Amino acid sequence: MHAPVPAFGRRAAPSETVAAKPDPAPAAAVLAASAAATPPTAEPLIAELRAMCLSKLDPSAVATQPAEVLIPQVELLISEIATERRIQLNGREQRQLATELVDDMLGLGPLEPLLEDESINDIMVNGPNSVFVERRGKVFAAAVRFRDTAHLINVCQRIAAAVGRRVDESSPMVDARLKDGSRVNIVVPPLALDGPYVSIRKFSKKSIDFAKLIEFGAMSRTLARVLEIAGQIRLNIIISGGTGSGKTTLLNATSRLIDHGERVVTVEDAAELQLQQPHVVRLETRPANLEGRGEINQRDLVRNALRMRPDRIIIGEVRGSEAFDMLQAMNTGHDGSMSTIHANNTRDAITRIENMVQMGSMGLPLSAIRTQIVSAVDIIVQTERQRDGGRRITQVTEICGMEGDVVLLNDIFQLVIEGQNSDGRLITRYRTIRNRPAFHDRLVYFGLERAWASAMEEVDD
């Protein structure tokens, strides 16, 4: 006789629990297994087997079991039901079905193998039968699919519910996050015409610092040293770039330079920053409830952050009228604050901030807004995802001051593309402008003027 299975109706004694853990299949193997389409004649039988298996599972017992223990138990149940119903399944098919069922019960169904694959940066679901992934900056079709639209909607609702949000016809768009900090955007019908759309921006489980970014080719050693000094002298930094250009990754890496004795307050729409400091206060926006009340936006949180005695304020992404409050925070003694913004280049970033401040209907003349920007922001770092798939810093620009109504900018570093190698990777170098920076007095105050001059004289290989 088989030992009793704890998920099937009751909690097993420790001696009854399956002790041996199955060897987890590599993500590539799981994807390959999913790629093999089930023969059409077998699909009704598999659906029947899946339904019968689920009917025999005790949800409360399942919720307490880790996946590695539950999979062999579900596999045993599948084998028994298949034998009883005379459904032909080999060992690989039983293991695959058991894994799918457990992923549906405990995880995010077909997305689980993609989430476990560390080579994948982005997952894009365009309906139940269309899934794409990004690896090393290139997009590929993934050989996974959902059973139907209802299956995909169920996964979407589970993601939203995990962070206290909802996604349905009355609230068809939502920003959320997964347990590992990955960022999720969901759009469901009636806005989504081909079924629910899910976009997941994954973050590496390994912390990424400047050394890793140099290794990836995102920056040079000289540029990294200059950004380290900028952090040490508490310059206010804006990281600008397009979608998927590496802004948040760079913000996380730059934040590692913050002293562990400082109190840091972060403000985000969906919490995704991974700060390593011990004294971090994380604030996240809240959408309106069913009655349309109770919304807390980024602007509310930035204002509240000013009352929390922060040393630095980090805004995950500025996209609206909270830009004015960000400038106010940077101008009121919170040196070393950081944020990200969507813009095509550093000059455009200035214009974007101007436009966002005006969105708040402050009634300020453009010259007053530009004066605020010049007083608040010290450096803008531009990132870009380039045609070879690489994410690189393309500009580091300091804001020098104003001449009339024009904001004066000085490029400290500018990326130059010199060609490409046989693998299609771009060959790049940085052109360095060695003018005396506008923040030279701050370098002197912190005793780092010689370190800055030495860094600017370095030549990267």
Helix, strand or coil, per DSSP, at residue 378: coil
For tokens 């695959």, what's the residue? 96
Residue 59: band (very low, low, confident or very high) from pLDDT cuts 50, 70, 90: low
Residue 412 pLDDT exceeds 90: yes
Which range among 102-106, 313-317, 394-398 shows the weakest confidence by mean pLDDT? 102-106
Smallest CA-to-CA distance from 78 within 109, 70, 16 is with 70
Q: Which CATH architecture has domain 113-201?
A: 2-Layer Sandwich (3.30)
CATH ID of 210-457, from 3.40.50.11240, 3.40.1130.10, 3.40.50.300, 3.90.1150.150: 3.40.50.300
What lies within 8 Å, CB to CB, of 86 at 6+ separation is: none
Residue 9: band (very low, low, confident or very high) from pLDDT cuts 50, 70, 90: very low
Kindly report, residue by residue over 438-458, the tens digit of the pLDDT.
Answer: 999 999 999 999 999 999 887
Tokens matching residue 49: 């087997």
If one compares 4 and 276, the residue with the highest pLDDT of the two is 276
Kindly report, residue by residue over 336-348, the tens digit of the pLDDT.
Answer: 999 999 999 999 9
How far apart (Å, rounded) are the C-alpha atoms in residues 279 and 260? Answer: 7
- What pLDDT does 39 receive? 45
- Percent of the chain predicted with pLDDT > 90: 38
Which range among 93-97, 152-156, 161-165, 256-260 shows the weakest confidence by mean pLDDT? 93-97
Q: What is the mean pLDDT of residues 189-195?
A: 90
If one compares 396 and 259, the residue with the highest pLDDT of the two is 396
Residue 5 pLDDT exceeds 60: no
Kindly report, residue by residue over 346-380, the tens digit of the pLDDT.
Answer: 999 999 999 999 887 667 888 899 999 999 999 99
Q: What angle do CA 249, 254, 256 make, to 5 degrees?
A: 105
How far apart (Å, rounded) are the C-alpha atoms in residues 237 and 336? Answer: 7
> What is the pLDDT of the chain when averaged over all its residues?
82
Helix, strand or coil, per DSSP, at residue 60: helix
If one compares 56 and 335, the residue with the highest pLDDT of the two is 335
Which range among 73-82, 152-161, 167-176 shows the weakest confidence by mean pLDDT? 73-82
Please check whether residue 305 is in contact with residue 265, taking contact to mean a CB–CB distance below 8 angstroms.
yes
416 CB neighbour count, 10 Å cutoff: 10
What lies within 8 Å, CB to CB, of 397 at 6+ separation is: 346, 379, 380, 381, 382, 409, 410, 411, 412
- What pLDDT does 451 receive? 93
How far apart (Å, rounded) are the C-alpha atoms in residues 431 and 416? Answer: 7
- 221 DSSP 8-state letter: H
> Concatenated DSSP letters for 352-376?
HHHHHHHHTT----HHHHHHHHHHH
Kindly report, residue by residue over 208-262, the tens digit of the pLDDT.
Answer: 889 999 998 999 999 999 999 999 999 999 999 998 888 988 998 898 888 888 9
- What pLDDT does 460 receive? 67
> Concatenated DSSP letters for 110-157?
GGHHHHH-TTEEEEEEESTT-EEEEETTEEEE-S---SSHHHHHHHHH
Tokens matching residue 38: 């089930």
237-270 burial, b at 16+ Cβ within 10 Å, e below that, comes to: bbbbbeebbbbbbbbbbbbbebeeeeebbbbbbb
If one compares 185 and 86, the residue with the highest pLDDT of the two is 185
222-231 burial, b at 16+ Cβ within 10 Å, e below that, comes to: bbbbbbbbbb
Residue 282 pLDDT exceeds 80: yes
* Total-model pTM: 0.74
Tokens matching residue 366: 């453009």
Residue 92 pLDDT exceeds 80: no
Kindly report, residue by residue over 13-33, the tens digit of the pLDDT.
Answer: 333 333 333 444 444 444 444
Alpha helices in 130-274 (DSSP H): 149-162, 210-216, 221-232, 247-255
How far apart (Å, rounded) are the C-alpha atoms in residues 397 and 407? Answer: 12
> Concatenated DSSP letters for 387-425?
TTS-EEEEEEEEEEEEETTEEEEEEEEEEEEEEE-TTSP
- What pLDDT does 182 receive? 84
Q: What is the mean pLDDT of residues 4-19?
A: 39
Q: What is the mean pLDDT of residues 264-275?
A: 83
- Give me the residue spans of the domains in the chain: 14-106, 113-201, 210-457
If one compares 99 and 1, the residue with the highest pLDDT of the two is 99
